[in-house]
């Protein structure tokens, strides 16, 4: 198991190679910066692998946010006039730099978010993929031409750059969510000001450094991208700034409830990507091998800390015991440990509070008559942390050492109620059984969230019903595929308390542009629509 000192060295090396300005961070032993938590340090970057502090990170205040938005607004004036394929060339360069620095950025993701390394590499790959997509898109920002009802008239729509985009992102996808927004916003002609999670600031500095390099190489206007670091207040300053045309906010439903009305009160645009509570239905005709392995990955992958994590298993009574037994064995056999190590599939939770929230949810489940079939307990990974080194790190940094690993919990509930209706951001999979398919569909949709769902069935009628108008009410609905692991080509997002936003592929780019409907009269006379005669 790596120590805090190892992780600090890895992180600082990656930041240097990514080209991050050393002034953005402060070493913890810098006497002029004081102790972790002092004002000069601002935020302290930590790793959930050891719980230890890595370095201080200088934060921004409301004035700095206003200055970043002002610079972005100035940049917009030139950027919106830059031909879209030229804007795409900058994003192409970003994709090349991401490819070159994939390992460094993935290391930061593993260090700060605790993701196993293959998932961290996958997250950076997603960034490269969205850059490719955006480059192609830069030649395809199509508008439609419609037949006019008037002779000698042409009716068309055009898509124009919108303005400054404020991106707010969560800890669990610390780099990909930024790229989904930024690659698309840039080709659409919009500058970006990014407020990342306070838990993953080093990842954000790494992304910003690569993009700044691409922008400089292409002589793009200064101020086209900025990262502003801090806690909620920094996000609020961005949300309330009337020069921010679109706020794209990813995080908890609690955050969306605060951000949505604030942006609406100034008639700004909002794209919300909020919490999920995703179900898999397993029917009697399902291929159980496929279903079980998808459910184990969906529920336990990223230690249950994905918005698309599988949290509810709705299984037909006839196959329930077999499916529950096999998923439990899957959970029990997942190798836990240092997320950098090959073969490890279970990394740590993000912090102690996530563990406490998980225990509170399990207590509620028990109080509802639930049976914890397996898991829920804190585990110490096989390869024990080096106690001496951690004690040393603790003495050096004043930080609490010790990451939090948990065995994913599988809980049978008598009914879908109470705790099962809420998203707990930890690996808990609730199971209820059903008797007929209508009941399964009703259960699938009877939660406040609407992000992702999956049906395992070899019955074409069930599959078509699941995807139909009375089927899954989620933004993502899969057949014989689990709830998590979306591709960038489709539009990503969900309904109800998930917020309704769509980002990434398909036509999600339209949220980042202003649509204008144009009528061009080449008839030589005035003709009013609907045959109106005005003298
Ligand atoms: P969070 O809501 O605590 O924080 C997300 C971001 O919002 C952070 O940058 C935070 O500083 C900022 N923030 C919080 N309150 C704010 C406010 N009032 N005004 C402005 N900014 C504010 O979420 P988290 O714990 O980092 O992430 C986990 C949550 O995010 C889960 O609910 C998960 O489902 C959700 N999530 C959703 C998606 C999606 O695409 N739907 C993707 C990833 C994560």
ipTM for the predicted complex comes to: 0.99
Residue of minimum CA distance from atom 31 in ligand 1: 252
* pTM, full prediction: 0.95
- CA of 254 from ligand 1 middle (Å) equals 8
Q: How many CB atoms lie under 10 A from the CB of residue 439?
A: 14
Which pLDDT score is estimated for 396? 47
Q: How many CB atoms lie under 10 A from the CB of residue 521?
A: 14
Ligand 1 site, residue 274, Cβ cutoff 6 A: yes
Q: List the domain boundaries for the chain.
A: 59-152+160-234+505-509, 278-490
What is the 3 state secondary structure string of 155-217? EEEEEEECCEEEEECCCCCCCHHHHHHHHHHHHHCCCEEEECCCCCHHHHHHHHHHHHHHHHH
| Whole-number Å distance between alpha carbons of 509 and 411 | 40
- CA of 258 from ligand 1 middle (Å) equals 11
Which pLDDT score is estimated for 402? 87
Atom index in ligand 1 nearest the CA of residue 498 equals 41
- CA of 202 from ligand 1 middle (Å) equals 17
List, by residue number, the catalytic residues. 273
Q: How many CB atoms lie under 10 A from the CB of residue 329?
A: 12
Per-residue pLDDT of the chain (535 residues; tens, 9 = 90+): 999 999 999 999 999 999 999 999 998 876 555 554 555 557 999 999 999 999 999 999 999 999 999 999 999 999 999 999 999 999 999 999 999 999 999 999 999 999 999 999 999 999 999 999 999 999 999 999 999 999 999 999 999 999 999 999 999 999 999 999 999 999 999 999 999 999 999 999 999 999 999 999 999 999 999 999 999 999 999 999 999 999 999 999 999 999 999 999 999 999 999 999 999 999 999 999 999 999 999 999 999 999 999 999 999 999 999 999 999 999 999 999 999 999 999 999 999 999 999 999 999 999 999 999 999 999 998 654 444 444 454 444 444 458 999 999 999 999 999 999 999 999 999 999 999 999 999 999 999 999 999 999 999 999 999 999 999 999 999 999 999 999 999 999 999 999 999 999 999 999 999 999 999 999 999 999 999 999 8
For domain 59-152+160-234+505-509, which CATH number applies: 2.40.110.10, 2.40.440.10, 3.30.70.20, 3.40.605.10?
3.40.605.10
CATH homologous superfamily of domain 278-490? Answer: Aldehyde Dehydrogenase; Chain A, domain 2 (3.40.309.10)
Residue of minimum CA distance from atom 8 in ligand 1: 197
């Amino acid at each position: 198991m790596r120590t805090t000192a190892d992780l600090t060295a890895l992180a600082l090396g990656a930041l240097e190679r990514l080209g991050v300005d050393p002034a953005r961070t402060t070493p913890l032993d810098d006497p002029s910066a004081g102790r972790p938590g002092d004002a000069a340090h601002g935020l302290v970057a930590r790793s959930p692998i050891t719980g230890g502090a890595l370095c201080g990170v200088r934060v921004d205040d409301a004035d700095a946010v206003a200055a970043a938005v002002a610079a972005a607004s100035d940049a917009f004036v030139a950027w919106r006039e830059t031909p879209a394929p030229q804007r795409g060339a900058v994003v192409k360069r970003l994709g090349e730099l991401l490819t070159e620095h994939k390992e460094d950025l993935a290391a930061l993701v593993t260090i700060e978010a605790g993701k196993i390394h293959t998932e961290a590499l996958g997250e950076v790959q997603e960034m490269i993929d969205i850059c490719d997509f955006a480059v192609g898109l830069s030649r395809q920002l199509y508008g439609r031409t419609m037949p006019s009802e008037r002779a000698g008239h042409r009716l068309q729509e055009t898509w124009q750059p919108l303005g400054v985009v404020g991106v707010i992102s969560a800890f669990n996808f610390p780099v990909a969510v930024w790229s989904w927004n930024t690659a698309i916003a840039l080709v659409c002609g919009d500058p970006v000001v990014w407020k990342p999670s306070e838990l993953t600031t080093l990842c954000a500095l790494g992304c910003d450094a690569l993009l700044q390099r691409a922008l400089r190489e292409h002589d793009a206007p200064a101020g086209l991208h900025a990262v502003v670091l801090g806690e909620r207040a920094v996000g609020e300053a961005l949300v309330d700034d009337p020069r921010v045309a679109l706020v794209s906010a990813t995080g908890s439903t609690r955050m969306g409830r605060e951000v949505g009305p604030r942006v609406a009160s100034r008639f700004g645009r909002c794209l919300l990507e909020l919490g999920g509570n995703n179900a898999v239905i397993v029917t009697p005709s399902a291929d159980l091998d496929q279903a079980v392995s998808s459910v184990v990955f969906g529920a336990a992958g990223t230690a249950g800390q994905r918005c698309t994590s599988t949290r509810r298993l709705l299984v037909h009574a006839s196959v329930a015991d077999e499916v529950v037994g096999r998923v439990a064995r899957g959970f029990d056999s997942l190798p836990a440990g240092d997320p950098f190590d090959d073969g490890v599939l279970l990394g740590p939770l993000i912090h102690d509070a996530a563990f406490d929230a998980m225990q509170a949810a399990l207590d509620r489940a028990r109080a509802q008559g639930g049976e914890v079939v397996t898991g829920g307990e804190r585990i110490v990974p096989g390869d024990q942390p080096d106690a001496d080194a951690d004690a040393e790190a603790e003495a050096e940094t004043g930080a609490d050492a010790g990451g939090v690993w948990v065995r994913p919990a599988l809980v049978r509930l008598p009914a879908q109620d109470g705790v099962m209706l809420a998203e707990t951001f930890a690996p808990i999979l609730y199971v209820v059984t059903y008797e007929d398919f209508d009941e399964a569909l009703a259960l699938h949709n009877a939660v406040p969230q609407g992000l992702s769902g999956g049906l395992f069935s070899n019955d074409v009628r069930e599959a078509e019903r699941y995807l139909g108008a009375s089927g899954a009410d989620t933004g993502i609905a899969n057949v014989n595929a689990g709830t998590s692991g979306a591709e960038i080509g489709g539009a990503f997002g969900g309904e109800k308390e998930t917020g309704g936003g769509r980002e990434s592929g398909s036509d999600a780019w339209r949220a980042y542009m202003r649509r204008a409907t144009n009528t061009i009269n080449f008839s030589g006379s005035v003709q009013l629509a609907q045959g109106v005669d005005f003298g």
